[in-house]
Amino acid sequence: MKTIFIYYSYSGNGDVVADFLKEKDIDIRKVESNYKLSNILFFQMMKGGFDAARKKKPKLINYDNNIEEYDHIIIGTPIWNSRLAPVCNSILDKTDLSNKKITFILYSGSGEAKNAYKRLKASYQNSNIIILKQPKKYKEELEKLKEL
């Protein structure tokens, strides 16, 4: 089974996950966007959380949504305001996941992401969802990915 990790990383948590998955011979595709946040944490949280709640879909830069050769698609995203980061909304909007095995890796500051989990399960019933608490800071969280 050929697998790809498609992800967005704002603070580096997704990059840590990508480095781990690369060791497992999983192809990596980091997504870039024109989405910008303030340098001030308070304003980052306000705008990011508000845009996540509105399900904003920012423009992706040079995004290759061709996943025909892959059987298993792993999508990685930060959780903001109990929701997927806006860039991940764009990924899901631009990528046809029909007839694919889907896994979501959510990197959350609290490590909880219960509401995001429920929302994803409602839309992607057969998906696998793994929640990591700040894998950049807590490397032991990566152990949850051993089964992939």
**Pairing, β 32-33 against β 128-133:** unpaired
Q: Are the CB atoms for 89 and 20 separated by under 8 Å?
A: no
| The pLDDT value given to residue 48 | 74
Q: Average pLDDT of the chain?
A: 92
Q: Between vectors from CA 11 to CA 50 and to CA 38, what angle results, nearest 5°?
A: 50
Q: Are the CB atoms for 26 and 5 separated by under 8 Å?
A: yes
Q: Is 79 helix (H, G, I), strand (E, B) or coil?
A: strand
Assign 132 a pLDDT band (cuts: 50, 70, 90).
very high
| The pLDDT value given to residue 111 | 78
- For 22-33, how does the pLDDT look when each residue is reduced to its tens digit (9 = 90+)? 999 999 999 998
- For 59-99, how does the pLDDT look when each residue is reduced to its tens digit (9 = 90+)? 999 999 999 999 999 999 999 899 999 999 999 999 999 99
Q: Are the CB atoms for 81 and 50 separated by under 8 Å?
A: yes
50 has pLDDT over 80: no
Q: What domains can you pick out in the chain, each with its CATH number?
A: 3-145 (3.40.50.360)
